[in-house]
Structure 1
Amino acid sequence: MSNKPLKIVFAGTPDFACPSLTALVRDTDLSIKLVITQPDKPSGRGLEFTKPAIKVLAEKINLPLTQPEKINQLKARLLEIKPDVIVAVAYSQLIPEDLLAIPRLGWINVHASLLPRYRGAGVIQAPILNNDQESGVTIMLMAKGLDTGPILAQSRVTLSLNETAGSLSESLSQLGGSLLLKTLKAYVAGDIKPREQEHTQSTYVGLIKKQNALIDWNKPAKTIEKLVRAMSPWPTAWTWLNGRQLKITAAEPKTLPINTYKVGKTFLYNNMLAVQCGEDSLLINRLKLESKNEVTAKAFINGHQDLIGQILG
Structure 2
Amino acid sequence: MEKIKVIFCGTPQIGAEILIALTEMPNVEVVLVISQPDRPVGRKKELKPTPVKEVALKNNLKIIQPIKISEAYDEIAQIESDFIVTCAYGQFVPTRILDLPKVDSINIHGSLLPKYRGGAPIQYAIKNGDSETGISIMKMVKKMDAGDYYIQESVKIEDFDDTGTMFEKLAKLGQKMIKENLVKIFNNELSPIAQVEEEVTFSKNITSEEEKINWDDLSINIWNHVRSLSPWPIAHTFKGERRYKIQKVKILNNKIEKRAGTIVDINENGIDVQTKDGQVQIELIQKPGKKMMKASEYKLTNLADLKVGDHFE
**TM-score in terms of structure 1 length:** 0.95
Q: Residue by residue, what CA displacement relative to the aligned partner does 1:198-239 show, whole Å, maximum 9, x if unpaired?
A: 122111111022221111111121111111100101111111
1:184 to 2:182 alignment:
yes
Following superposition, the deviation at residue 43 of structure 1 comes to 2.2
Following superposition, the deviation at residue 244 of structure 1 comes to 1.5
**SS of structure 2 residue aligned to 1:246:** strand
2:130 aligned residue: 132
2:257 aligned residue: 260
**SS of structure 1 residue aligned to 2:121:** coil
Following superposition, the deviation at residue 241 of structure 1 comes to 2.9
Aligned residues of 1:287 and 1:297 also touching (Cα < 8 A): yes
**Separation (CA, whole Å) in 2 of partners of 1:100 and 1:302:** 57
**CA RMSD across the alignment:** 1.5
Q: Which amino acid aligns with 1:35?
A: V
Q: Which amino acid aligns with 1:231?
A: L
1:155 aligned residue: 153
Following superposition, the deviation at residue 5 of structure 1 comes to 0.8
Q: Which amino acid aligns with 1:255?
A: L
**Separation (CA, whole Å) in 2 of partners of 1:84 and 1:270:** 60
**SS of structure 2 residue aligned to 1:143:** coil
After TM superposition, the runs of 4+ consecutive aligned structure 1 residues lying more than 4 A away are: none
1:72 to 70, 73, 79: 70
How many residue pairs end up in the alignment?
Answer: 310
1:275 aligned residue: 273
1:15 to 2:16 alignment:
no
Following superposition, the deviation at residue 242 of structure 1 comes to 4.3
Unaligned runs of 5+ in 1: none
1:88 to 74, 86, 89: 86
Q: Indicate the percent of aligned positions where both proteins have the same amino acid.
A: 30
After TM superposition, the structure 1 stretch with the greater mean CA deviation from structure 2, 9-18 or 284-293, is 284-293
Aligned residues of 2:229 and 2:235 also touching (Cα < 8 A): yes
1:120 to 2:118 alignment:
yes
Following superposition, the deviation at residue 271 of structure 1 comes to 4.6
2:215 aligned residue: 217
**SS of structure 1 residue aligned to 2:135:** strand
Aligned residues of 1:256 and 1:283 also touching (Cα < 8 A): no
Q: Which amino acid aligns with 1:263?
A: A
1:41 aligned residue: 39
1:244 to 2:242 alignment:
yes
Q: Residue by residue, what CA displacement relative to the aligned partner does 1:86-117 show, whole Å, maximum 9, x if unpaired?
A: 10110011111111111111111100000000
2:310 aligned residue: 310
Q: Which amino acid aligns with 2:312?
A: L
Following superposition, the deviation at residue 182 of structure 1 comes to 1.1
Aligned residues of 1:13 and 1:92 also touching (Cα < 8 A): yes
2:173 aligned residue: 175
Following superposition, the deviation at residue 269 of structure 1 comes to 7.5
Following superposition, the deviation at residue 33 of structure 1 comes to 0.7
Q: Residue by residue, what CA displacement relative to the aligned partner does 1:266-310 show, whole Å, maximum 9, x if unpaired?
A: 122875421001221111111111111211111112232752221
Q: Which amino acid aligns with 1:186?
A: K
**Separation (CA, whole Å) in 2 of partners of 1:231 and 1:176:** 21
Unaligned runs of 5+ in 2: none
**SS of structure 2 residue aligned to 1:309:** coil
Following superposition, the deviation at residue 78 of structure 1 comes to 2.2
Q: Residue by residue, what CA displacement relative to the aligned partner does 1:179-203 show, whole Å, maximum 9, x if unpaired?
A: 0121111111221111111122111
**SS of structure 2 residue aligned to 1:113:** coil
**Separation (CA, whole Å) in 1 of partners of 2:240 and 2:74:** 56
After TM superposition, the structure 1 stretch with the greater mean CA deviation from structure 2, 268-277 or 58-67, is 268-277
Name the CA shift for 1:171/1:127 in 2 (closer, same or farther; >3 Å): same
